[in-house]
Structure 1
Amino acid sequence: MKHPITQSALSIAVAASALLGLAACSDPGASAAPAAANTSGTKTFNLTPQQDRVSVTKDPAAAALVPDEIKKDGKLTVAVALGTAPLGLYATDNKTPIGNEVDVAIAVAQSLGLEADIVPVAWADWPLGVASGKYEAVISNVTVTEERKLKFDFATYREDVLGFYATTDSPITKVESAADVAGKKVIVGSGTNQEAILLAWDKENVAKGLAPVEFQYYDDDSASTLAMQSGRADLTFGPNPSGAYKAATDGKSKLVGIVDGGWPLSASIAVTTEKGNGFAVAAQAGLNHLISDGSYAKILDKWGLSSEAVKESELNPPGLPAS
């Protein structure tokens, strides 16, 4: 079980963010809109259709685990929701899917001797599509939950991490426990797991006689950004990939704390497949091949997600309990 990051680990994460532009539940939350290409930030992301993707080799042992029904056409149909950088978005030609999830999908397919067929979908549509066999997998920031495990199988490939961000000139340097948000004006997505965490922390603070959190909600990312830059809000709290991408590209915000997406439990992001069709076992083997040969680390580094890497892919790990 993981708790809010320790101060030493936070220092490492902040340093890494400055060097690499570090960047996940389903809802992208407060800072989800894709940022433009870097003009004044610390990292430039390639958003063109020409991606120069990480070279991947086939793992024969992993490929042998692919169910015959999936391997017969030589393709792996993968659903990916687009619209949240750096996870999934359209390139500058407005038609080519790019992003971390796209690269992971292509790499997993190649490790299994298959060609990835990337299908852009609305996030809410993947469960029916996977359960019906329309999509052979979804790789789109899907968190493992016990409820989802009733219908789907999972092979993990990222930690589910939430991030607190402040403006670069903010006096706030760390958020690692409930007391650090007491009296702060915090932007958070309504109905998200990050809001649930913040509500729990606020309840703890109020019980201790500390100042309550001032919750702020914005449907529009530009309004959220304006509130931060004008000083009307102190912090944003949302999925770390989108927050870190934004910080890296515009240079106007900084990471001040990270919290496990399933706080106080651990949460994992996973390749999601139809339950019982056998593909999750192959996906796990393919991912572990990518991890062992270093290509997995290169993909995450490319998109600023090194802080969310897993040491190995797990098959159907404990998921977040039903709320």
Structure 2
Amino acid sequence: MVTAGLALSACGSDSLDGSGSSSSSGSSSSSSTSAAVDPQLAAGVPDKIKQAGKLVIGSDASYAPNEFLDTDGKTVVGMDVDIFTAVAQKMGLKAEFQNAGFDTIILGVKSGKFDIGVSSFTINDERKKQVNMVSYFNAGTQWAVKKGNPKKVDPDNACGLNIGVQKGTVQIDDLTARSKKCTDAGKPAIKQIVDADQSKVTASVVSGKSDAMLADSPVGLYAVQQTKGQLEALGEIYDAAPYGVVIPKDETDFAQSFAVALKALKEDGTYDKILDKWGNASGAIGDFQVNP
């Protein structure tokens, strides 16, 4: 009964570069987004990409509403998909999203497997040492529990509890720091229930295997919505930071083109329309920067 909802409540966001090997088959995106080609942006596309006529994008399609698999089980859809399909169109390119394990994407961009990576990556200094990142959305961390919070979970005192979290995300660091405070105070550690697929993290809370979970705010809130009242948000969003599209380190001019394209989409209303469509208007930004 919960499966249909949970299939859309996947999450995956902000890890470091990662070294996992859970990449999966690729697929093209399906999006009704349409943006006019900007000849200047099209001229600045690297030759290899221009000749291919497409922008190959690595994305972990388990992180609804940002990126997830459509009902056909193959096509990557979501908020990020719509945004970067429009960006690709501005550059005269077709967007091709390839589903991959979250913690393999930055490595894939660095190796040339993907032209860029779009998978709700929080911008941080570790990542900026390896790749260029262009900001496009603002998100924080949100906790969620079963409706009514039967385990009386307090994020500031979760010692000894089972907490669900996606592999490779910044929320792992968050939980690790919270757990250390517990053990330093002589209390039991937080047990992390880690899975590579956020939909399974969500399911673990619904089933009671996990007492709570934490994820990026758009993902956590969407998961609550998709479980149709079985989960509820706990506490306020915190540690808000921008998401960034991942672009090879030696392609700074191309990265700047993304900032220009995003600004154009903001000015013509496309950007805000997409966020509204996915219920994420609160995360909109107006200043798109390279390596902020």
TM-score, normalized by length of structure 2?
0.73
Contact 1:166/1:255 (8 A) holds in 2:
yes
SS at match of 1:93: coil
**2:245 is the alignment partner of 1:271:** yes
The C-alpha deviation readout for 1:175-195, integer Å capped at 9, x for no partner, is: 7x83xx366845133775324
Moved more, 284-293 or 162-171: 162-171
Aligned equivalent of 2:193 = 217
Contact 2:144/2:214 (8 A) holds in 1:
yes
Change in 2 beyond 3 A, CA 1:290/1:174: farther
Moved more, 100-109 or 186-195: 186-195
- 2:72 and 2:59 map into 1 onto residues whose CA distance is 18
SS at match of 2:120: coil
SS at match of 1:289: helix
The C-alpha deviation readout for 1:41-82, integer Å capped at 9, x for no partner, is: xxxxxxxx9966233233445444433443344322222222
Contact 2:63/2:199 (8 A) holds in 1:
no
Aligned equivalent of 2:269 = 294
Letter matched to residue 152 of structure 1: V
Letter matched to residue 66 of structure 1: V
Contact 2:62/2:68 (8 A) holds in 1:
yes
Aligned equivalent of 1:25 = 14
Change in 2 beyond 3 A, CA 1:293/1:255: farther
Residue 223 of structure 1 and its aligned partner are, at CA, apart by: 8.2
Residue 246 of structure 1 and its aligned partner are, at CA, apart by: 1.8
- 2:55 and 2:203 map into 1 onto residues whose CA distance is 42
Contact 1:26/1:141 (8 A) holds in 2:
no
Residue 204 of structure 1 and its aligned partner are, at CA, apart by: 5.2
Q: Structure 2 regions of 5+ residues with no counterpart?
A: 1-8, 17-27
- 1:206 and 1:107 map into 2 onto residues whose CA distance is 48
Matches for 1:307-318 after TM superposition, within 5 Å: 307-317=282-292
Change in 2 beyond 3 A, CA 1:291/1:258: farther
Aligned equivalent of 2:164 = 188
Q: Higher RCO, 1 or 2 (CA under 8 Å, sep at least 6)?
A: 1
- 1:61 and 1:173 map into 2 onto residues whose CA distance is 56
Aligned equivalent of 1:197 = 174
Residue 228 of structure 1 and its aligned partner are, at CA, apart by: 4.5
- 1:233 and 1:86 map into 2 onto residues whose CA distance is 22
Which structure features the higher share of strand residues? 2
SS at match of 1:141: coil
Aligned equivalent of 1:255 = 233
Contact 1:174/1:257 (8 A) holds in 2:
no
The C-alpha deviation readout for 1:236-294, integer Å capped at 9, x for no partner, is: 2223333222211122222233444xx4xx63321111112231111111111112222
Change in 2 beyond 3 A, CA 1:108/1:225: closer
Aligned equivalent of 2:6 = none
- 2:198 and 2:246 map into 1 onto residues whose CA distance is 29
- 1:145 and 1:221 map into 2 onto residues whose CA distance is 21
Contact 1:188/1:194 (8 A) holds in 2:
no
Aligned equivalent of 1:303 = 278
Aligned equivalent of 2:120 = 141
- 1:123 and 1:195 map into 2 onto residues whose CA distance is 14
Query: What is the percent sequence identity of the aligned residues?
Result: 32
Change in 2 beyond 3 A, CA 1:173/1:101: farther
**Residue 60 of structure 2, aligned match among 76, 81, 105:** 81
Residue 230 of structure 1 and its aligned partner are, at CA, apart by: 7.3
**CA RMSD across the alignment:** 3.7
Residue 172 of structure 1 and its aligned partner are, at CA, apart by: 9.8
SS at match of 2:63: coil
Aligned equivalent of 2:23 = none
- 2:93 and 2:174 map into 1 onto residues whose CA distance is 40
Aligned equivalent of 2:25 = none
**Residue 101 of structure 2, aligned match among 105, 122, 133:** 122
Change in 2 beyond 3 A, CA 1:239/1:132: same
Aligned equivalent of 1:40 = none
Q: Structure 1 regions of 5+ residues with no counterpart?
A: 1-20, 28-48, 318-323
